[in-house]
């Protein structure tokens, strides 16, 4: 039974149409995935359904809910439908809750907007809803304010509000994009529960093909405001009709596949060596705690982990080229603790960085020429290499007089890479170099990085949360959790046979763009959330609170996890007392 | 042939192939200027301020009297051909006096704004960029100046300023006007400091002071320009009330505040002594405020929907 | 948290002490109480003047350091000394502070309430007729200096009184001497309150409008609408509630700043408050009063800053946590 039917939807902001002729329908209990890259109009389309676009948007076409036309309906009627028949879960849970009202009151408000209940009863119902979406101690937590909740918990609250009035359609706009991968798995689970409880149709907007593969019954692909194709999920993934969909699928890095790569020269010199690095902010817990690893010449070393695990802090400590609070950092054979100002400046030539967001890492007020020339000038060199550098990264030197805003995301990242290469460094630090880019552009930038590495003999230190990307380009990998490295080794060994339970859980949480595999997968998302940077750790294993192995252990082996902090055995290995799973 | 490679080395602008338009003005500035020129308030403000400038500096040349002249044949006379704005109780020509006062107000307003915004930018940026002891010391000085009553200090010191040294008055006014902006600049610097282009510059080896002047301050140019505009009117208003009590610009020189103080006493039966000075002062402040508001809108990328 | 507050409070106290000391030293160096006696006829003998000045700790023949020490000792005990002609500075200040408080409280409250209401309405109907009209009006008011506004109001009131032949508005002082009625006080209060309130309302309406505009597009307002709240409820319960936080903080701060900031209004309307006395005491070379008012102003400002912090914490749970 079709619940929501959209026909010929067109949205214009001024002259330019953001969405043109979009049509779809969803039936009761069905999940429709809406996929597209940035600017494809996917969010605009669903906001138009709710009538929540800004006032200057001109919407035409037809949106029917149970056959009733919503476009052009009086505001009063729409208000009565919103939250009751049509519910919405937004992308950014940090901003979507009013900061000054208690969680329970905000959920109760959603109930009271449509049901004539005494306030007290609405509050009690709100607590039930919080329980339903898996918030521990819902009675107590209902009295908390949004800032006391983590991102995942807030998204659960959003879902609780969405299902409060038993809606017919739940529209989710990138609900897991801002979350860590293990938390994403939990939220997808909760959404599944919500759908079962309400029997609602779900429209799920995302850019992540992996999420869609496991969740959707049908998928609609949008591109530049138009529908590229709509198909049942299996057809779309296994028999895509359009070239665009095929390219999109091909561009997604796959975590479940081996990659062939030329092995780095074995036993190359160590370009970077980190030993027992410690960093704490103020009097808080250590954000980075006794971290050790080495990067060899010609190698790509991946550092992975969820937000707050200390990977970025580690990176900043290395880039500062200063004496660490404890431990040692050796760059190209020079200990950073003993550097004079002049030596540090010299060493910077060999160590450069490419950041995540090319919009943020390029000064919007400088021309491309000035941006790429800046490191040269800082070291008193002539800026005449700039055209050559731009050519090296595949840009036209004729465009050097333009500003970053005139370039696309991928081109901007090329500019940032050209700047990083200006001083001919030997080690390049890549901080999430492609995570701000669309899938199709990612592949290009990754190819460029691989090409440059081969041509210039670079070494990369890659920091990323995207495990598929790391598997695709890294030679060795270290997995961080709560400030510590929990597992380290050659990338194939770690990904094919992870030994630490956290690595296993992390790999299992990554959705794969393959509906058959996603369906076959036994879902057991990791409980809890990654601890933030400021959390204090009691003794023993830091992961045991979330550890599925620890939960199954008998008292005797478990006591080891409580009393003794596991260490990495040697150069490679896992910091776990029961790496084989504990039962054997 | 090396000659077609050579220009590359000189500057970014030169690498543009012939035929393509050379970008001289940053596109952003064009957008800002375009939006500014498109706003009603901005245009009105510029025309008004321009008109007042011309009046203040060209008027005395045209007018028959100087502000120091006394016409002993006309005390407290209404506007006439001889005295366009009438005369004061002591026979001064109101037209000449008012324009002289407006000159002073304009100069003081502009100078104070430039100096105080400059100080605010430098102090705030250094405190926010270096933090630690630099921040503590600069922050303490900022707080101290905030707590000291500005009116009182300037008023107490005004007898010591002496005659004609109005530049000292400018410095004093500026000294008490930069603190709040400097706190804002400090906060913005702390956030800009975390931006990746500043981190990138730091990891390239660019020294801190150069990062401040090359990356940090240019990226809050909009805040600084708007702040400077607001400071122009704030300075004019402060100077006016100081002069009203006789603590600002001192005779024989005149300022609008002093004229208004004198005029208020005779306003009921000789309205010209009050209304011309008061009216021009209001127009002046209004023009500056309109420009400031239009600039703020023009700089703010979210205020695009002006014609929503 | 408590440690942080304590450290901050100590910092404030040090700041007040330094500010007051600087003000005293400035006043002691720049002002010359001796000049007041020189104008008397018959001119008193120098020894008598010296004795008199010394009794009030104003004698410029004594070293500045020892005068400062005497003053600081008194100030620490809460005694700000004597005026140049022997009255107690404390008594005088107490009386005047009451006058200023009555004026500021009425003006600020009226101005803030009106400003917030106007600003909120303008923001909700951005670029509508009310928004344009209120923007125009606030620009008009902001361009009129207090000096001009007060005088124009007086001129208007006198004109109206003449026109009607009645004394509707009274433009001088807080009350007519000898008359003690609420009506009389009100007739005195209207114009100075209006002078303060108009300017305040203009500032607050602009501030409230911009704060609310920042919030109206926020995700949480969209969430509230998606829940099925009406536009009015979403704006009132969610947007306005959040946008009021900075405005309320600003309100508390302004209150402190205004204690000696109403100089112009007090002087023109003949209200003998702190602002008026500031001007008068500078003219009268009254070192101790000048120093005392500076000290009071600094304290008021810092109390207001603390009050603003506290108010911020009360209104915003995010601040409470840290």
Residues 6+ apart with CB under 8 A from B15: A369, A386, A387, A397, A398, A400, A401, B7, B8
Taking an 8 Å cut-off on Cβ atoms, the answer to whether B15 and A398 are in contact is: yes
Taking an 8 Å cut-off on Cβ atoms, the answer to whether C227 and A82 are in contact is: yes
- Asked whether residue A473 falls in the same domain as residue A557, the answer is yes
Residues 6+ apart with CB under 8 A from A285: A483, A533, A534, A535, A536, A537
Compute, in degrees rounded to 10, the torsion defined by CA atoms B193, B196, B200, B201.
-40
Q: Is residue A264 part of a domain?
A: no
The DSSP line for B69-111 is ---TT-SSPPS-SSSTT-B-TT--BHHHHHHHHHHHHHHHHHH
**pLDDT tens per residue across span A242-280:** 999 998 898 888 887 776 666 666 667 889 999 999 998
Read off φ and ψ for residue A482, nearest 5 degrees: 50, 45
- Asked whether residue A412 falls in the same domain as residue A436, the answer is no
ipTM, interface predicted TM-score of the complex: 0.83
How confident is the model over C292-301, as a mean pLDDT? 88
Residues 6+ apart with CB under 8 A from A401: A367, A368, A369, B12, B13, B15, B16, B22, B23
Q: Which of A367, A285, A322 is nearest to A537 (CA)?
A: A285
* Nearest CA distance, B185 vs chain A (angstrom): 18
- Asked whether residue A324 falls in the same domain as residue A444, the answer is yes
Read off φ and ψ for residue B45, nearest 5 degrees: -60, -45
Residues of B in contact with C126 (CB under 8 A): 308
- Asked whether residue A416 falls in the same domain as residue A456, the answer is no
Domain termination residue (choose one: A404, A424, A444): A424
Taking an 8 Å cut-off on Cβ atoms, the answer to whether C290 and B264 are in contact is: no
- Asked whether residue A176 falls in the same domain as residue A105, the answer is yes
Q: Is residue A263 part of a domain?
A: no
Report how many domains make up chain A. Answer: 3
Sheet of A2-13: strand order equals A16-27, A2-13, A57-65, A68-69
Residues 6+ apart with CB under 8 A from A199: A28, A29
What pLDDT was estimated at residue C52? 81
Residues 6+ apart with CB under 8 A from B68: B252
First to last CA, chain A: 51
What pLDDT was estimated at residue A523? 65
What pLDDT was estimated at residue A265? 62
The answer, yes or no, to whether the previous bond of A391 is cis (omega within 30 of 0) is no
What pLDDT was estimated at residue B27? 55
Residue A347: closest C-alpha in chain B = B205
- Which portions of chain A are predicted below pLDDT 70? 259-267, 522-524, 532-536, 581-584
- The CATH number assigned to the domain holding A123 equals 3.40.50.300
Q: Is residue A390 part of a domain?
A: yes
Q: Is residue A261 part of a domain?
A: no
Choose the closest CB to C143 out of B159, B257, B282. B282
Compute, in degrees rounded to 10, the torsion defined by CA atoms B42, B45, B51, B54.
-90
Choose the closest CB to B148 out of C22, C127, C152. C22
Q: Is residue A13 part of a domain?
A: yes
Convert A333-345 into a string of H (helix), E (strand) and C (coil): CEEHHHCCHHHHH
- Asked whether residue A210 falls in the same domain as residue A314, the answer is no
- Asked whether residue A311 falls in the same domain as residue A414, the answer is no
- Which pLDDT band, with edges at 50, 70 and 90, does C44 fall under? confident
The packing angle between helices C2-30 and C287-315, to 10°, is 160
Choose the closest CB to A88 out of C226, C233, C245. C226
How far are the Cα atoms of A131, A439, A480, A482, A572 from residue A287, in angstroms, in the given order?
A: 32, 31, 11, 7, 22
How confident is the model over B226-241, as a mean pLDDT? 86
What pLDDT was estimated at residue C80? 85
Neighbours of chain C (3+ CB pairs under 8 A): A, B
CB contacts under 8 A, A 34-93 vs B, are 55-56
Q: Is residue A266 part of a domain?
A: no
- Asked whether residue A555 falls in the same domain as residue A438, the answer is yes
Say if CB C210 and CB C122 are below 8 A apart. Answer: no
- Residue reference for tokens 């898996």: A134
CB pairs under 8 A between B and C: 111
Q: Is residue A74 part of a domain?
A: yes
d(C-alpha B203, C-alpha C114), whole Å: 52
Mean pLDDT estimate for chain B: 80
Q: Is residue A30 part of a domain?
A: yes
- Asked whether residue A281 falls in the same domain as residue A345, the answer is yes
d(C-alpha B104, C-alpha A583), whole Å: 89
- Which pLDDT band, with edges at 50, 70 and 90, does B34 fall under? confident
Alpha helical stretches, state H, C31-145: 34-38, 46-55, 64-76, 89-124, 129-143
What pLDDT was estimated at residue C270? 87
- In chain A, how long is the greatest CA-to-CA distance? 75
Domain termination residue (choose one: A424, A443, A474): A424
What pLDDT was estimated at residue A106? 95
Residue C288: is its pLDDT beyond 50? yes
Domain termination residue (choose one: A424, A456, A485): A424
Residues of A in contact with C231 (CB under 8 A): 75, 79
Domain extent, residue A10, equals: 2-251
Is residue A221 helix, strand or coil?
strand
If phi over 0 gives left and psi between -120 and 50 gives alpha, with beta otherwise, what is residue A424?
left
How confident is the model over C227-255, as a mean pLDDT? 90
**pLDDT tens per residue across span A109-147:** 999 999 999 999 999 999 999 999 989 899 999 999 998
- Asked whether residue A295 falls in the same domain as residue A306, the answer is yes
* Chain A interface test: which of C213, C226, C315 (most A C-beta within 10 Å): C226
What pLDDT was estimated at residue A170? 95
Q: Which of A149, A105, A144 is nearest to A126 (CA)?
A: A105
d(C-alpha C9, C-alpha A506), whole Å: 48
- Asked whether residue A306 falls in the same domain as residue A234, the answer is no
**pLDDT tens per residue across span C67-98:** 898 888 888 888 888 887 778 888 888 888 88
DSSP state of A356: S
- Asked whether residue A53 falls in the same domain as residue A8, the answer is yes
Choose the closest CB to A360 out of B197, B207, B210. B197
Taking an 8 Å cut-off on Cβ atoms, the answer to whether A79 and C219 are in contact is: no
Helix, strand, coil share of chain B (percent; to 5): 70, 0, 30
What pLDDT was estimated at residue A82? 92
d(C-alpha A119, C-alpha A140), whole Å: 17
What domains, with CATH codes, occur in chain C? 89-287 (1.10.3720.10)
Read off φ and ψ for residue A22, nearest 5 degrees: -80, 135
This prediction's pTM:
0.83
The two tokens of residue A105 are 């009151």
């Amino acid at each position: 039974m079709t619940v929501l039917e959209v026909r010929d939807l067109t949205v214009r902001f001024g002259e330019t149409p953001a969405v043109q002729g979009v049509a779809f329908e969803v039936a009761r209990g069905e999940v429709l995935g809406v996929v597209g890259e940035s600017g494809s109009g996917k969010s605009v389309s669903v906001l138009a359904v709710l009538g929540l676009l800004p006032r200057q948007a001109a919407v035409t076409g037809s949106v029917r809910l149970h056959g009733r036309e919503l476009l052009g309906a009086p505001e009063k009627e729409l208000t009565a439908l919103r939250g009751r028949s049509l519910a919405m879960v937004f992308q950014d849970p940090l901003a979507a809750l009013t900061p000054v009202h208690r969680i329970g009151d905000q959920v109760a408000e959603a109930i009271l907007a449509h049901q004539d209940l005494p306030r007290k009863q609405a509050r009690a119902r709100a607590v039930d809803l919080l329980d339903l979406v898996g918030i521990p101690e819902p009675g107590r937590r209902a009295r908390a304010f949004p800032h006391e909740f983590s991102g995942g918990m807030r998204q659960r609250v959003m879902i609780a509000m969405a299902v409060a009035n038993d809606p017919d359609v739940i529209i989710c706009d990138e609900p897991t994009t801002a979350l860590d991968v293990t938390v994403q798995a939990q939220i997808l689970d909760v959404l599944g529960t919500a759908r079962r409880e309400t029997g609602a149709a779900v429209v799920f907007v995302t850019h992540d093909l992996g999420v869609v593969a496991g969740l959707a019954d049908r998928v609609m692909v949008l591109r530049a405001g138009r529908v590229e194709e709509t198909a049942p999920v299996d057809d779309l993934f296994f028999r895509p009709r359009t070239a665009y969909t095929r390219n999109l699928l091909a561009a997604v890095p796959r975590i479940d596949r081996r990659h062939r790569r030329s092995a780095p020269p074995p036993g190359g010199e160590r370009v970077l060596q980190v030993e027992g690095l410690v960093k704490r902010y103020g009097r808080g817990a250590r954000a980075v705690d006794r971290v050790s690893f080495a990067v060899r010449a010609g190698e790509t070393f991946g550092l992975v982990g969820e937000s707050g695990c200390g990977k970025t802090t580690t990176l900043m400590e290395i880039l500062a080229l200063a004496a660490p609070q404890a431990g040692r950092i050796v760059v190209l054979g020079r200990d950073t603790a003993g550097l004079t100002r002049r030596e540090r400046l010299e060493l910077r030539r060999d160590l450069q960085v490419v950041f995540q967001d090319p919009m943020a890492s390029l000064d919007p007020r400088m021309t491309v020429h000035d941006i790429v020339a800046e490191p040269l000038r800082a070291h008193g060199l002539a800026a005449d290499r700039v055209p050559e550098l731009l050519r090296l990264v595949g840009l036209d030197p004729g465009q050097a007089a333009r500003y970053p805003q005139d370039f696309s995301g991928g081109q901007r990242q090329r500019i940032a890479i050209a700047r990083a290469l200006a001083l001919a460094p030997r080690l390049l630090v890549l901080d999430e170099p492609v995570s701000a880019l669309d899938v199709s552009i990612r592949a290009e930038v990754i190819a460029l990085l691989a090409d440059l590495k081969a041509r210039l003999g670079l070494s990369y230190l890659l920091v990323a949360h995207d495990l598929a990307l790391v598997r695709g380009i890294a030679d060795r990998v270290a997995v961080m959790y709560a400030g510590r490295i929990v597992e380290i080794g050659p990338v194939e060994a770690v990904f094919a046979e992870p030994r630490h339970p956290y690595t296993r859980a992390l790999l299992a949480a990554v959705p794969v763009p393959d509906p058959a595999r996603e369906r076959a997968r036994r879902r057991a998302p990791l409980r809890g959330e990654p601890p933030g940077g400021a959390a204090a750790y009691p003794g023993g294993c830091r992961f045991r609170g979330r550890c599925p192995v620890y939960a199954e252990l008998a008292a005797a082996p478990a006591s080891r996890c409580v009393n003794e902090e596991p260490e990495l055995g040697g150069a490679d290995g896992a910091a776990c007392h029961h790496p084989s799973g504990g039962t054997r | 042939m090396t000659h077609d490679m050579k220009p590359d080395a000189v500057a970014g602008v030169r690498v543009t192939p012939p035929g393509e338009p050379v970008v001289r003005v940053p596109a952003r500035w064009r957008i800002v200027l375009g939006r500014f020129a498109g706003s009603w308030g901005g245009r009105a403000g510029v025309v008004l301020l321009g008109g007042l400038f011309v009046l203040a500096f060209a008027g005395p040349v045209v007018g028959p009297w100087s502000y120091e002249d006394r016409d002993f044949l006309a005390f407290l006379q209404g506007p006439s051909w001889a005295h366009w704005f009438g005369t004061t109780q002591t026979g001064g020509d109101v037209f000449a006096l008012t324009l002289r006062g407006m000159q002073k107000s304009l100069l003081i307003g502009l100078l104070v704004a430039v100096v105080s915004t400059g100080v605010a930018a430098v102090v705030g940026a250094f405190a926010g960029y270096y933090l630690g002891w630099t921040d503590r010391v600069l922050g303490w000085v900022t707080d101290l100046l905030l707590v000291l009553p500005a009116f009182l200090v300037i008023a107490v010191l005004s007898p010591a300023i002496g005659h004609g040294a109005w530049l000292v008055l400018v410095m004093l006014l500026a000294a008490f006007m930069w603190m709040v902006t400097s706190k804002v600049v400090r906060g913005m610097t702390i956030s800009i400091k975390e931006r990746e282009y500043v981190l990138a510059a730091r990891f390239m080896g660019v020294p801190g002071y150069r990062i401040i002047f090359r990356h940090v301050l240019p990226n809050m140019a909009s805040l600084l320009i708007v702040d400077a505009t607001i400071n122009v009117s704030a300075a004019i208003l402060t100077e006016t009330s100081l002069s009203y009590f006789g603590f600002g610009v001192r005779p024989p020189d005149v300022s609008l505040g002093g004229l208004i103080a004198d005029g208020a006493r005779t306003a009921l039966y000789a309205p010209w002594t009050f209304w011309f000075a008061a009216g021009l002062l209001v127009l002046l402040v209004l023009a500056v405020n309109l420009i400031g508001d239009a600039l703020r809108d023009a700089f703010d990328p979210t205020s695009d929907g002006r014609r929503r | 948290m408590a440690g942080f507050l304590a450290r901050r409070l100590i910092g404030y106290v040090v700041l007040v002490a330094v500010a007051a000391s600087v003000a005293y030293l400035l006043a002691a160096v720049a002002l010359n109480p001796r000049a007041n006696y020189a104008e008397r006829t018959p001119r008193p003998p120098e020894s008598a003047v010296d004795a008199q000045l010394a009794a009030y700790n104003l004698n410029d023949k004594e070293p500045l350091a020892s005068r400062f020490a005497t003053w600081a000792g008194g100030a620490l005990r809460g005694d700000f000394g004597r005026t140049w002609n022997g009255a107690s500075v404390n008594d005088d200040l107490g009386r005047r502070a009451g006058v200023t408080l009555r004026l500021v409280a009425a003006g600020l409250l009226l101005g803030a309430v009106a400003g917030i209401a106007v600003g909120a309405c303008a923001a909700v109907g951005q670029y509508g007729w009310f928004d344009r009209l209120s923007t125009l009006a606030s620009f008009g008011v902001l361009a009129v200096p207090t000096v001009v506004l007060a005088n124009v109001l007086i001129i208007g009131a006198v004109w109206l009184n003449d026109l009607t032949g009645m004394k509707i508005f009274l433009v001088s002082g807080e009350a007519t001497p000898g008359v003690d009625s609420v009506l009389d006080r009100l007739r005195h209060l209207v114009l100075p309150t209006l002078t303060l309130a108009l300017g305040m309302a203009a500032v607050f309406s602009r501030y409230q409008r911009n704060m609310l505009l920042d919030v109206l597009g926020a995700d949480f307002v969209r969430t509230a609408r998606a829940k099925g709240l009406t536009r009015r409820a979403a704006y009132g319960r969610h947007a306005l509630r959040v946008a009021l936080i900075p405005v309320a903080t600003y309100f508390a701060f302004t209150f402190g700043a205004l204690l000696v900031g109403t100089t112009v209004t007090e002087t023109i309307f003949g209200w003998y408050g702190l602002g008026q006395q500031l001007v008068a005491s500078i003219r009268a070379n009254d070192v101790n009063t000048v120093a005392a008012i500076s000290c009071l102003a600094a304290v008021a400002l810092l109390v207001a800053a603390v009050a603003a912090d506290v108010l911020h914490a009360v209104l915003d749970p995010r601040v409470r946590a840290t």
